[in-house]
Amino acid sequence: MSYERPKFRHPEAQKNKLGYTRKAYEGAISTLCAGCGHDSIVSSIITAFFEMSIEPHKVAKLSGIGCSSKTPAYFLGRSHGFNSVHGRMPSVATGANMANKDLIYLGVSGDGDTASIGMGQFAHVVRRNLNMIYIVMNNGCYGLTKGQDSATADKGSKSRKGAPVSFESIDLCELAILLGADFVARGFSGDKKQLLPMLKAAISHKGMAFVDVISPCVTFNNAPTSTKSYSWVRDHMEATATFDFIPLQQEILTEYDHGSTIPVSLHDGSVITLHKREDKEIITNKKDAINSLEEAKARDQILTGILYLKPDSEDFHDINQTTDTPLNQLTEKELCPGDEVLQAFNDSMR
């Protein structure tokens, strides 16, 4: 058993604009089960930040409790991090974001951490449109505590040893749309080709970017009868409109037929181009988004891709008109502007 990853890397490994190789974005060696879907998501997170040339110290990783919530240890080893208590990642993310809006906030949670104990926190952080990426590594079970069914397990689905799930499942994406998130996507840990641009788009989006990634738990919930298993997901995956992520500064090289393609500019200037499917409208409209999700479900399909997108929303800071300067950079001068200012303020309240 290896406790350390060998230090050698491919001598011709690519470098990003900052001159770093992917190694600068790695973390400690994973202690998850071999084959856990969470590891693949970790890998995609590393690739996304590496390829976007984001300085690791500009990122804060936040998580709760669970196998999924352990994963921030395995990526971005040189970023900030806070591993909070079960289901409380959103509060910590909110606090941190309020104190310093200059960092990129990456929340990692599980389906247990979010859809059970953390449901209230989840609802409110989405509703507040906090500027963050909220990833749920969704395996339909409580992996860390040995695989009990979670609230996202589909009714009728059967885990390795369990009886069929008897309750209705919670669709976190549908809920996020209803609660006001403007970027909602669903991916699959086994499909990095789709997951990678999805994560990049989420990182570029301003406001809440909610990404639900189906991520099989190979140990407790990968039986072919489980709707969160590798085989079931592969057989039942259906993509919404496919999309490309074109980062800022990169020329759009492909000519798109405007009838079938809609470019959507994100806050940071990068562009997502959505390719319309013949039988479907592109999902930039809440009602359609929810309909599509429900229709797919009725067909026993899992709808993946960017499910709903509305760029340039007002985030929590905008709404609250809070300071642009990180709190730790505010000096006494700004914090105690003097008697005159106080008087004027008091007068305005009278």
Partner 1 sequence: MKPTDITNPEYFHKVVDCQYACPAHTNVPEYIRLILHENYTQAYMINWVSNVFPGILGRVCDRPCEPACRRVRVENEPVAICRLKRVASDNRDEVQPLLFRAPKKKNGKRVALIGAGPASLTVARDLAALGYELDLFDDQPVAGGFIRSQIPSFRLPEEVLNTELNYILDMGGITTHFNTYVSDIRDIMDKGYDAIFVGTGAPRGRDLPGLPGRKEGDKKIHVGIEWLAAVVFQHVEKVGKRVLVLGGGNTAMDCCRTARRLGGEDVKVIVRSPMAEMKASEWEIEDAVKEDIPIIDNHVPLEFVVENGTLIGMRFQKVKPEYDQSGKRSLVPTGEDPVMLECDEVLLAIGQQNAFPFIDESSGIEFNDWGLPVLDPVTLQSSIPNIFFGGDSAFGPGNIIIAVAHGHNAAISIDLLCQSKDTHDRPEPKVTLAGQKLGFHDWIYDSQITEDERQIVPTVEKAKTLRDRLVEVELGFPVYTGKTEAKRCLNCDVQTVFDYGLCIECDACVDVCPTSCINFIENDEEEALREKLIVPARNLDEDLYVSEILPTGRVMVKDENVCLHCGMCAERCPTAAWDMIKYSYKSPIAGDS
Ligand X SMILES: Cc1ncc(C[n+]2csc(CCOP(=O)(O)OP(=O)(O)O)c2C)c(N)n1
Q: Give 3 or 253: the residue with its C-beta nearer to ligand SF4.
A: 3
Among 17, 35, 263, 343, binds partner 1 (CB under 8 A): 35
Which own/partner pairs from 315-319 qualify as long-range (CB within 8 Å, at least 24 positions apart)?
A: 315/129, 315/130, 315/131, 315/206, 315/207, 315/208, 316/94, 316/97, 316/98, 316/128, 316/129, 316/130, 316/131, 317/97, 317/98, 317/101, 317/131, 319/128, 319/129
C-beta separation of 79 from 59 below 8 A: yes
Burial class (CB in 10 A: 0-12, 13-18, 19+), 74: buried
Among 56, 143, 162, 197, binds ligand X (CB under 6 A): 143
Q: Give 10 or 258: the residue with its C-beta nearer to partner 1.
A: 10
Among 188, 220, 232, 245, binds ligand SF4 (CB under 6 A): 220
C-beta separation of 216 from 189 below 8 A: yes
Please give the size of the binding site for ligand SF4, defined by CB under 6 A: 12
Q: Give 67 or 73: the residue with its C-beta nearer to ligand SF4.
A: 67
If contact means CB under 5 to 8 A according to the sort of partner, which of partner 1, ligand SF4, ligand X, none does residue 220 touch? Answer: ligand SF4
If contact means CB under 5 to 8 A according to the sort of partner, which of Mg ion, partner 1, ligand X, none does residue 86 touch? Answer: ligand X
Task: State phi, psi for 326 to the nearest 5 degrees.
Answer: -55, 145
Q: Within 10 Å of residue 324's Cβ, how many Cβ atoms?
A: 7
Q: Does 146 bind partner 1 (CB under 8 A)?
A: no
Q: Does 108 bind ligand SF4 (CB under 6 A)?
A: no
Q: Does 182 bind ligand X (CB under 6 A)?
A: no
Q: Does 43 bind ligand SF4 (CB under 6 A)?
A: no
Q: Does 143 bind ligand SF4 (CB under 6 A)?
A: yes
Q: Does 112 bind ligand X (CB under 6 A)?
A: yes
Angle between helix 37-51 and helix 192-204 axes, rounded to 10 deg: 50
Q: Does 192 bind partner 1 (CB under 8 A)?
A: yes
Among 121, 150, 157, 229, binds ligand X (CB under 6 A): 150
Q: Give 23 or 267: the residue with its C-beta nearer to ligand SF4.
A: 23
Q: Give 42 or 54: the residue with its C-beta nearer to ligand X.
A: 42
Find the binding residues for partner 1 in span 84-103 (CB under 8 A). Answer: none
Q: Does 8 bind partner 1 (CB under 8 A)?
A: yes
Q: Give 205 or 228: the residue with its C-beta nearer to Mg ion.
A: 228
Largest CA distance in the chain: 71
Among 234, 337, 341, 344, binds partner 1 (CB under 8 A): 234
**Which of these segments, 113-121, 166-174, 230-238, 336-344, binds partner 1 (CB under 8 A)?**
230-238
Binding string, residues 81-120; x marks residues near Mg ion by CB under 5 A: -----------------------------xxx--------
Residue with tokens 């310093």: 100
Cα separation of the two ends of the chain:
70
Beta strands 141-142 and 132-138, pairing class: unpaired
C-beta separation of 196 from 52 below 8 A: no
Please give the size of the binding site for ligand X, defined by CB under 6 A: 18
Interface residue list for ligand SF4 (CB under 6 A): 32-33, 36, 38, 67, 139, 143-144, 217-220
Residue numbers at the binding site for Mg ion (CB under 5 A): 110-112, 139, 143
